[in-house]
Amino acid sequence: MGQLSDRVRDAMVKKAQAVKEQMGSGESRRRLDLSGKKAIVAPGHEVVVRLLPRWDILKKYRTDAGGKVTVNPEYQDDVVFFEAFEHWWDSPDGRSTTREWCPCTFDENAHCPLCEAAEKLAESPDQNDKALGARIRAKEVFLFNAILGRVGQRAFTEDGRPDIRYLSAPATIFQAVSAFMTGGDEAEFARGDITDPRDGYDIKLIRPAKQGDRWRVDCAPQPSVLFAPEEKEKAKGWPTLLVDVEALVRQEVKSYDTLYAAYYGTEGGTPPGPPAEEFDTGGAPPFDFPDFPEPGVPSTPHDAPPLPSPAVPSLPPRASVPPPQPRRPAGRRR
Which residue's CB is nearer to Zn ion, number 139 or number 207? 139
Return the closest-CA partner of residue 107 out of 255, 230, 233, 211.
255
Q: Which stretch binds Zn ion (CB under 5 A): 132-140, 181-189, 240-248, 269-277?
A: 132-140
Which residue's CB is nearer to Zn ion, number 227 or number 256? 256
In whole angstroms, how close is the CB of 106 to Zn ion at the nearest point? 11
Q: Where are the alpha helices (DSSP H) in the chain?
A: 6-24, 27-30, 113-123, 127-136, 171-182, 232-235, 245-252, 256-264
How many residues belong to the site for Zn ion (CB under 5 A)?
5
- Main-chain dihedrals φ then ψ at residue 300, nearest 5 degrees: -115, 165
Which positions from 198 through 217 interact with Zn ion, judged by CB under 5 A? none
Return the closest-CA partner of residue 213 out of 40, 44, 39.
44
138 binds Zn ion (CB under 5 A): yes
In whole angstroms, how close is the CB of 115 to Zn ion at the nearest point? 3
In whole angstroms, how close is the CB of 327 to Zn ion at the nearest point? 12
Rg (CA), the chain: 23
Which residue's CB is nearer to Zn ion, number 114 or number 147? 114
Return the closest-CA partner of residue 312 out of 127, 93, 124.
124
In whole angstroms, how close is the CB of 265 to Zn ion at the nearest point? 18
Return d(Cα 8, Cα 177) in angstroms, integer.
36
CA of residue 70 relative to chain centroid, distance = 33
Taking residues 91 to 130 in sequence order and writing x for each that binds Zn ion by CB under 5 A, - otherwise, the string is -----------x---------x-xx---------------
Q: Are 141 and 88 in contact (CB under 8 A)?
A: no
Which residue's CB is nearer to Zn ion, number 112 or number 147? 112
Which residue's CB is nearer to Zn ion, number 114 or number 217? 114
In whole angstroms, how close is the CB of 148 to Zn ion at the nearest point? 29
Interface ranges with Zn ion (CB under 5 A): 102, 112, 114-115, 138
